[in-house]
């Protein structure tokens, strides 16, 4: 039987889960892997949470963004509308608890699949952003970087009527918008060379940069336990760290609402909101 063939570990409720996670992690250096479920309590929706997994989502595909101007226009139009609400999000109790774990020396750092920057905002210092950060924009031609806020100002100048459109926020900081609404949308170009701009994130169909993956595996090696927070682990970019931990016989705890791809590999699995469990876990692990 392979690792993935094992039956899922039974999920524990919050009360029992805190104690079980504390027993599993106490006295160990805990590397943390976070996903979108860590930020839903900050108002940022996810793709596969209990409330969103059945919604039809059409995320931007990497190849289409590179090859089709109309896809780039659709992305930037949606992003212009979603950006104000995305940037108004603030860290929640889960983010602050993870920052406290780092300050206390329990965790050497964390790996995140999120692009919202909320771990940094909460005070975490060693954060490996697997999928990049929406706060940065990069030119595909000359590689020049520009703050996303600057691009927002330029887009508003080119498309002043868009600012008053009411939309639903999407997981990647953009918004729901019908295709016909972007027919005349004007996309800003690189201020240095006039090239195509892309948010400095990994779109669906793209790969995480190899050096970053190596850094993440190196961080995993520094720990002797892995805690997964708020991730379904559906995407391989995160799941590979769980399989590596399992191969090393490193204890694995999973805290997530709903099932995850790594449930059969976990030693402890807790089904609860991260903001409810993590502060109590930190208190237990850092108690003198």
Is 54 marked active-site?
no
- Give the bridge partners for 145, in sequence order: 138
**Residues 162/81, Cβ–Cβ less than 8 Å:** yes
Model confidence over 217-268: pLDDT tens digits?
Answer: 999 999 999 999 999 999 999 999 999 999 999 999 999 999 999 999 999 9
38 assigned ligand-binding residue:
no
pTM summary value: 0.89
213 assigned ligand-binding residue:
no
Cβ contacts of 131 within 8 Å, gap of 6 or more? 113, 114, 115, 201, 202, 208, 237
Average pLDDT over residues 64-84: 92
- Of the residues 119, 120, 131, 249, only one is catalytic, namely 131
Model confidence over 166-217: pLDDT tens digits?
Answer: 555 555 555 566 667 788 899 999 999 999 999 999 999 999 999 999 999 9
What are the φ/ψ torsions at residue 72 (nearest 5 degrees)? -65, -40
């Amino acid at each position: 039987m392979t690792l993935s063939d094992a039956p899922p570990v039974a999920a524990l409720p919050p009360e029992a889960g805190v104690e079980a996670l504390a027993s599993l992690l106490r006295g160990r250096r805990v590397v943390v892997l976070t996903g979108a479920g860590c930020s839903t309590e900050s108002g940022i929706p996810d793709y596969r949470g209990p409330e969103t997994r059945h919604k039809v989502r059409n995320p931007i595909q990497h190849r289409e963004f590179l090859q089709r101007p109309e896809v780039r226009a659709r992305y930037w139009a949606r992003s212009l509308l979603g950006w104000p609400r995305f940037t108004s999000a603030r860290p929640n109790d889960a983010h602050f608890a993870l920052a406290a774990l780092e300050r206390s020396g329990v965790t050497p750092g964390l790996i995140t699949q999120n692009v919202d920057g909320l771990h940094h905002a909460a005070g975490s210092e060693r954060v490996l952003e697997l999928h990049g950060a929406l706060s940065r924009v990069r030119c595909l031609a000359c590689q020049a970087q520009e703050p996303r806020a600057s691009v927002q100002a330029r887009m508003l100048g080119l498309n002043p009527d868009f600012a008053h459109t009411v939309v639903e926020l999407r997981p990647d900081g953009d918004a729901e918008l019908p295709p016909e609404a972007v027919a005349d949308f004007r996309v800003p170009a690189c201020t240095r060379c006039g090239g195509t701009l892309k948010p400095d994130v990994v779109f669906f169909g793209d790969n995480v940069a190899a050096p970053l993956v190596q850094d993440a595996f190196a961080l995993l090696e520094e720990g002797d336990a892995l805690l997964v927070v708020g991730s379904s682990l559906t995407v391989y970019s995160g799941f590979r760290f769980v399989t590596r931990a399992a191969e090393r016989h490193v204890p694995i705890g999973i805290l997530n609402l709903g099932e995850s791809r790594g449930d059969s590999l976990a030693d402890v699995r807790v089904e609860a909101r991260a903001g409810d469990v993590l502060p109590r876990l930190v208190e237990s692990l850092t108690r003198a």
